[in-house]
Each structure stands twice: as structure tokens, then as C-alpha cells.
Structure 1
């Protein structure tokens, strides 16, 4: 799609009968300032920028039904947390259909699961317990020794090194916690201590 970002937003707003400002506002919450890139062709954006803009177009309007295919792909951890919080704000008034191969990602989001095999429904069931999309966990990791591989991974999760690669602090959104635990389990031999507790999303790690 070679259409400039500004033209794409205006077109989407007109078709969906919404205000372009609402789309801009959602994009800003996701960490994307649309104003400086209005003249840039959509196909020249990075993968993360494209995803944030498309999410903003989808959520920057009133809709009774949202159909999403791998919606959190290419989002950084902070944007993912904000995205799930945006979905949480719509739970009461919007039906959401999410297609994903990442069961750990979508499990906390849904109250009904439909599995398909070769085009046929093989499972259609309700989820007994719903998780809060807006949950946020404060995480502290202590390693037995510093290690380059886990350090690189934790930096990608936006964790902060607090003691020469031995102690790490960060935050993980509720829908990401299973994926995070799965990642950490690969380095179980290096873990000396791990602490994960739910906090108010407004709390900033000290």
C-alpha cells in the first residue's frame, strides 16, 4: 500500500464515519505520533509502525464487532500492554474475534475458544476463568551469574539491569505473562530468584 499515512487515515475515517483525531489519539497511546509521518507512504513504515497504525484505525471508531488476525504481531512489550488495555476498555460493548496461533497470547483475552482443523470446527467451548487484560506484573530476577544471552533477551523485554547483569527489574503485562515465563524457563539454570507480583498499572518501577 503506497498511500501516504495522512491520506490513509483520512480515507479510513471517512469510510468508518469517525474523526481522524480519534485514530491519532489511539496511535499516540500505542507510542506512535502520526503527525510527523503523514506524508510518508504506508509501505515505508516499519513493521511495528504499520501494526500500531492499523490498530489505531481499527480502534479509533465505534464498532460492535472487531475481527483481528494476529493483532499483537510486531508490537514491543509496552505497546502490547497498552493494546490489551485498549481491548479491555471495549469488553462490555464489543464482540471480539481473535485469530492466532499463539495460544499463550490469546488465552487471557477470551471467554470462548473455537479450534478448527482442516476447515472444520473440532472444539467450541467456554473458558471457565477470564483474566484481566489490563493486569500488570512487576518482575524482579536475580541470576546466579551474568550471562550475555539472557541479558540480550531481558533488554528486548525492556528490563533494566540493576546490578552488573545479576539483578534485573521490569514489567510484564497480564496477557504476556505466560510467554514471559516460558522465555525465562529456558534459562532456569541461571536463575537464583524470581519475583512476580501484580501491581497497579499506574505504578512505575523504582
Structure 2
């Protein structure tokens, strides 16, 4: 996927500008956490990129002309909406359509479904719209991640997932190192392990664009010390994977590459109730 160029993108609903001359460039390989309050314009931006809305301004995909709905580009985008569509077709038919029409691999769908905790055979004859919210989300995530997509667009993808499925979903996304991502989420700490860039929208404008890779140069690191309230073998093992030294079961010391800070903080967020001391200090090799 080449660069996406967005220039002065404006979308109004009943005279209210939900996107207000928004300008943004997204590079191939970017993994972006899109944050902002409800009504900031996140979903509307996604819908404009996908060609669902008319808008003013320009959107260009790679070498395609601006303002053009590029079908080749869209065929390589996997999208999971915040609100699942009210599809009446049975789940089995949806899976077949995803395989034939969207290029989702059947074996990969089965593998992802097993990992995320949804039995496709059990629900294959049920209309999609009759599934629970969590089941719908698991099916849509399964279909999306089974595609050979260049860009994943997820709008609050884990909102209806149970904690176990949410953790698996994050791990599955992390494994897709070949794709770019746009992820709208209210849980920045949850998607932090995945992203290299954080963009915040407010009233349809970009108010923050923080590129972690550009800001934190190669060769920089953070000295880190962590204290926890009681010994926790799983947490100790996770820190060991980062090369941390165990200083008595409740104190740990190590170095975190600066460019991996968000990913590391995402790990720590899973154990926030345990941590009672934390220091991160920037240094150089």
C-alpha cells in the first residue's frame, strides 16, 4: 500500500462540520492509533476513506488521482466497524462470501476463530444479526484478519470482546507485520504495543500527531525500574522476555529501547494493579 494523502477533507452533516478541512498523510507501514472523544470525527474519517460518504477536499491513494474511489485500493482494505451491520444471511453464507468475494482464507479463518473463541460450525446456520454483540465482533475480526489486506481499519474493534478474546486479538494484530493499520480506540494502553504513531482528532481536526519512531531515535533507550506489591511469576516472566533482571521477586531493572516505549507500557498496563513503583529515564547507548 502506498501513501494515503488527505487534503482539506471536510464532511458536514446538517451544516455541522464533523471533519473540518482535515489534512493528513499516512505512509505505508504506519500503524496508527486514532484517538479522540465521541464525535471527534474518527468514524467519519474511516467512512470517507472507504468511499461510503461524499465529501469535499481530496483523498488520494498511492498513485491514484485525488478524490477518486480507487477500487483496487479498497479491495486490499479490511474494515471492522464499531457497529456490526444487521446482516440477515447465515454465518456460513457470510464465511463463504468472505472466502470467495473478499479473498479470506478458509483455513486461516478457522484457525483465528479457534484462537479468539468462536465456534463457526456451531453458529453457521444462525443469521448473523441474531448473534450476540461479542459473537458478531468475533466473526467480523475473524474474516478481516484472514484476508491478505494491505491496510486494516478497525473502529473500536475490541469493544464487545471478552478480556480473553481481546488479548488474543491484540496478539493476532501484532503478528500481522506486513500490513498498515488505522485503529480507533478509547483504550490507548491496549493498542500501544501495536502502533508507531498516535493521532488525536478534536472537532474534525488533527490536534496531535506523535510519530514515536521519528521522535525516539535508534540507539536511545530508557532505564526502567519497577516495583510490584507482591511476587507474580507471570509478570516476572514477561519482564524476563524484555531482558529485565529480577531483584528479589518484587523489584525489576532493565532497559527498554526508546522506540518500543509504547509497546512496553502496553504490557505494563495489563498488570497496573500490581505496580506500585515505576521509573523510566532516557539515556543513550
When the two structures are superposed, what TM-score results if normalisation uses the length of structure 1? 0.62
Aligned residue number for residue 176 of structure 2: 90
Q: Aligned pair count?
A: 145
Aligned residue number for residue 94 of structure 2: 8
Given that 2:170 and 2:191 are in contact with CA atoms closer than 8 Å, whether structure 1 keeps it comes out as no
Q: 2: CA distance between counterparts of 1:175 and 1:31?
A: 23
SS in 2 for 1:26: helix
SS in 2 for 1:138: helix
Aligned residue number for residue 204 of structure 2: 119
Bigger-Rg structure (1/2): 2
Does structure 1 residue 31 correspond to structure 2 residue 117?
Answer: yes
- Between 1 and 2, higher relative CO (CA 8 Å, sep ≥ 6) is seen in 2
Given that 1:31 and 1:79 are in contact with CA atoms closer than 8 Å, whether structure 2 keeps it comes out as yes
Of residues 163, 188, 192, the one that matches 1:77 is 163
The two structures, once aligned, show a CA RMSD in angstroms of 2.6
Stretches of structure 1 that go unaligned for 5 or more consecutive residues are 130-136, 141-173, 185-193, 197-206
Give, in angstroms, the shift of residue 195 of structure 1.
7.2
Of residues 137, 155, 178, the one that matches 2:269 is 178
Give, in angstroms, the shift of residue 59 of structure 1.
0.3
When the two structures are superposed, what TM-score results if normalisation uses the length of structure 2? 0.46
Tell me which moved more, 73-82 or 52-61: 73-82
Residues 1-206 of structure 1 aligned to structure 2 (within 5 Å): 1-91=87-177, 93-127=178-212, 138=234, 175=266, 177-178=268-269, 181=272, 184=273, 194=274
Query: Greater strand share, 1 or 2?
Result: 2
Q: 2: CA distance between counterparts of 1:177 and 1:15?
A: 40
Given that 1:69 and 1:98 are in contact with CA atoms closer than 8 Å, whether structure 2 keeps it comes out as yes
Alpha-carbon distance change, 62 to 138 in structure 1, aligned in 2, over 3 angstroms: same
Stretches of structure 2 that go unaligned for 5 or more consecutive residues are 1-86, 217-232, 237-264, 277-285
Query: Greater helix share, 1 or 2?
Result: 1
